[in-house]
């Protein structure tokens, strides 16, 4: 049996903590034990605050996964490589911890317990706290997640199916985008809608004859052999009022290819056209890929 980790499938969560870290040594014994313990901590914290609906995924970058994998597991995984002549930097790390729920406090208590379990076996390199703002809208004012797969559609898109050796697993992209909200405020709502490819207030898709090929939807709403390249997005806004604001982009998929094709398209690597988001509001400031094994594999690395 393979059970997916618990931050992939839940919908409409309102808070997340994302920690990216590097292994402190090549000896994986402590990290394996910490993964087992972290699953126990998750169960304990779920029991303490069931209403928070806590979920957590632990994933591994290619360098570490090479030493943990059994033959045939997570074969699509590779290190994140820079795209678009530096427009998308690579900041690949070894371990990703993604915690999400309906409660920032519950996330924080679990994150502390999980980091305590890892102790000095990892060195955290980045920690980002995400939160819902209003109506699932980003700082840009647009609803984010409308075309996210829902309900029973999510599992086949997000989770590697049986009978594969890595069934229950998933691929994860973490990519942080910093927004320039002053720049965004200088263009009209109509121009903003053309950047996204949907209307702002009513959140409707622009008619296809009006949709720019360089709009965000023009870049990421992709088909291959007549099939939509679908992914599951768990992104949330991050930041603080006096400093930086942006989107912590978080995506899971049973095939790394779906995520990668969308990135190649956004950053001009398919047809030379780049996503208008990148010139009108957002700068990618990190990027990394992880394999997220099933709970059973995580407990038995």
The two beta strands, 227-228 and 288-292, are: unpaired
Backbone torsions φ then ψ of 195, nearest 5 degrees? -65, -45
Q: Contact with ligand HEM (CB under 6 A): which of 117, 167, 193, 277?
A: 277
d(CA 248, CA 287): 10
Query: Which position among 140, 144, 166, 275 bears the catalytic label?
Result: 144
Q: Which is nearer to Mg ion, 79 or 228 (CB)?
A: 228
Q: How many positions of this chain bind Mg ion (CB under 5 A)?
A: 1
Q: Which of residues 1-30 bind Mg ion (CB under 5 A)?
A: none
- Residues 257 and 165: their CA atoms lie apart, in Å, by 18
E strand segments, 120-188: 122-131, 170-179
DSSP E strands in 210-259: the ranges are 223-224, 227-228, 232-233, 236-239, 245-253
**Minimum CB distance to ligand HEM smaller for 98 or for 198:** 198
Q: What is the spatial distance between Cα 137 and Cα 247, in angstroms, rounded to a whole number?
A: 11
Q: Under rule CB under 6 A, which residues in 223-252 are in contact with ligand HEM?
A: 231, 247, 249, 251
What is the C-alpha to C-alpha distance for residues 166 and 75, in angstroms, rounded to an integer? 9
Residue 13 Cβ vs Mg ion, minimum distance, rounded to whole Å: 22
Q: Which of 147, 165, 270, 285 binds ligand HEM (CB under 6 A)?
A: 147
| Residue 144 appears among annotated catalytic residues | yes
> Do you find a cis peptide bond into 274, omega within 30 degrees of 0?
no
**Number of amino acids touching ligand HEM (CB under 6 A):** 26
Choose, by CB under 6 A, the member of 55, 61, 138, 237 that binds ligand HEM: 138
Q: 138 φ, ψ to 5°? A: -80, 180
CA-wise closest residue to 282 among 221, 219, 195: 195
From the list 9-17, 48-56, 101-109, 212-220, the region that binds ligand HEM by CB under 6 A is: 212-220
Draw the binding track, 195-234, toward Mg ion (x: CB under 5 A; -: no contact).
--------------------------x-------------
Q: Binding ligand HEM by CB under 6 A: which of 14, 92, 101, 175?
A: 175
Residues that bind ligand HEM (CB under 6 A): 138, 140, 142-147, 175, 177, 196, 198, 216-217, 220-221, 231, 247, 249, 251, 259, 262-263, 266, 277, 282
Catalytic residues: 144
């Amino acid at each position: 049996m393979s059970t997916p980790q618990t931050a992939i499938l839940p919908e409409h969560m309102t808070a997340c903590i994302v920690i990216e870290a590097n292994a402190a040594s090549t000896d994986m014994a402590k990290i394996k034990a910490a993964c087992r313990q972290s699953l126990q901590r998750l169960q304990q914290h779920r029991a303490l605050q069931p209403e928070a609906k806590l979920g957590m995924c632990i994933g591994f970058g290619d360098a570490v996964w090479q030493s943990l994998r059994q033959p045939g597991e997570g074969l699509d995984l590779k290190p994140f490589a820079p795209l678009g002549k530096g427009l998308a930097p690579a900041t690949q790390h070894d371990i990703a911890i993604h915690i999400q729920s309906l409660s920032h406090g519950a996330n924080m208590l679990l994150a502390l317990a999980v980091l305590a379990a890892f102790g000095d076996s990892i060195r955290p390199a980045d920690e980002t706290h995400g939160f819902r703002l209003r109506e699932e809208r980003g700082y840009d004012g647009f609803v984010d997640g409308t075309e996210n797969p829902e309900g029973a559609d999510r599992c086949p898109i997000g989770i590697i199916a049986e009978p594969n050796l890595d069934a229950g697993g998933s691929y994860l992209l973490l990519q942080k985008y910093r927004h320039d909200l002053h720049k965004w405020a200088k263009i009209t709502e109509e121009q903003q809608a053309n950047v996204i490819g949907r209307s702002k207030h009513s959140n409707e898709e622009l008619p296809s004859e009006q949709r720019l090929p360089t709009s965000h939807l023009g870049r990421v709403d992709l088909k291959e052999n007549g099939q939509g390249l679908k992914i599951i997005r768990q992104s949330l806004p991050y930041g603080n009022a006096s400093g930086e604001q942006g989107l912590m982009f978080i995506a899971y998929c049973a095939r790394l290819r779906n995520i990668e094709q969308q990135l190649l398209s956004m950053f001009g690597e398919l047809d030379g056209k780049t996503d208008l988001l990148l010139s009108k509001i957002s700068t990618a400031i990190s990027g990394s890929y992880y394999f997220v094994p099933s709970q059973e594999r995580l407990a038995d690395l």
